[in-house]
Structure 1
């Protein structure tokens, strides 16, 4: 095999992988998940990044604009980039409804179409963590941030509820391609420090939780995610022809919710995430 052939095959494999990711996040209704379960997380990140009027901000893997819209409402000039056009279409409608001016750009987090140092703030709320090649994504978010600029991230932790949900789904999901890394690794401080390296200073990382009180019963949580959350929809589709596996995954997700139930038996859930802010080195 020649080097050129290998390169071509690698490019095609990556294109297929990104196409799969795009299709996965278009499944269900992530706009509902963001609006109904975690509506304040984007604003939490915007505040932590100190976004203000006059700043040029890039929201990577912005989804429906959970962070991009609050940043625009704070007066910043905001570009929201995402791999999935369907999510951006929903985000555009939300931005108009809330009176926020946001520029939407389709973009791969691992190969951003922006110049070096173009932004004062580069952030991602539960987005860049799903790019399969972590170092490539980290290199890009650092590259497009100007010297002295702010990098801000919110990612689910491996030990938290959502990280455990991904662990529960893993045996039933399609096998990840070679080189792809688990998204919740971005929720480990040591991993993020290694990814960013000495290209940033003043990095701060703290674990926080968001309270989810929507679900009265474990099966309500499970059915909501089966209908609305792309990765869960895709996992169930992968095993749709095996009733035994479907039932087993139902049980595993119900057990997960029960383990996180409070003393009253309610399935109000505390979802843990890692909030990271850092300065781009001069």
Structure 2
């Protein structure tokens, strides 16, 4: 490549005119077309009196619309007080204009420090498209057949959602946990109390009609089990004496003894149902006391 460029430039220099004082600058593209980002070459030659000082542009020059990539300078040739200089620039373009033009100048330096710019002739090069231009009349092939595209589950998004839910759940529990626990316990106690009251009412009705040891034992067991859940004490395992030792059961002293005579002694009384009515009143009072304590805790 370098040899061909040298022969090309030397041929242009030899063909220049012989006017002794005339300054002649010529230039142009070696290629006739370009592609985006591809190296192209622009030659510049100058013929001038050998007593003048002439310089070619360097990397600081604005080669727009092209970008500088490299420069090859050929040694000066002196012939009968005439100097012949030449250089080849390697450029690149990233523009898509159909025609792109450029003129690279040279500069004559004066003793005063100023310089005179002399432009080479403007030359153009054609942009070569890599893809064929699609016209408005080009028809598109339509395919309406269903294409089954496999889906991939988004596991990272799932872990993010689960993490957020766990944080929200933990925050809710820390902020409202105590209130939630109280609400749950109150609802459970209410449900248990309603069921206990219905069963006890049926047992009292049966005992009022005819005192029965088994019914009395069943009602006593049901009462102890409910009171155990209400008071959170092991009432089902306590004896009558142990129950009466509690600070709030004094009113049940005679009541529990009458029930024990029937359940464990087999001695029934027509007034036995009244003892269970007293149990019912006591339990209603304790339910109100405990639920108020839970609400106000």
With the length of structure 2 as denominator, give the TM-score of the two structures: 0.19
| Higher RCO (CA 8 Å, separation ≥ 6 residues) | 1
